[in-house]
Amino acid sequence: MKRALVIIVLVIAAVGLLMNLDVVLNMIFSSLIFLLVLGLIIYGIYYFFILTEDQRKYRKALRKAKRKHRKK
Residue type, 11: V
Question: Tens digit of pLDDT per residue, the chain (72 long)?
Answer: 889 999 999 999 999 888 888 888 899 999 999 999 999 999 999 988 998 889 989 989 999 999 888 776
Give the ranges where 20-52 is alpha helix by DSSP (H). 21-45
At residue 69, what is the residue type?
H
| Residue 72, pLDDT score | 60
Name the CA radius of gyration of the chain, rounded.
24
Kindly report, residue by residue over 10-30, the tens digit of the pLDDT.
Answer: 999 999 888 888 888 899 999
Identify the pLDDT of residue 24. 83
Q: pTM score, two decimals?
A: 0.59
User: 32 to each of 2, 19, 42, 46, how far by Cα in Å?
Assistant: 39, 22, 15, 21
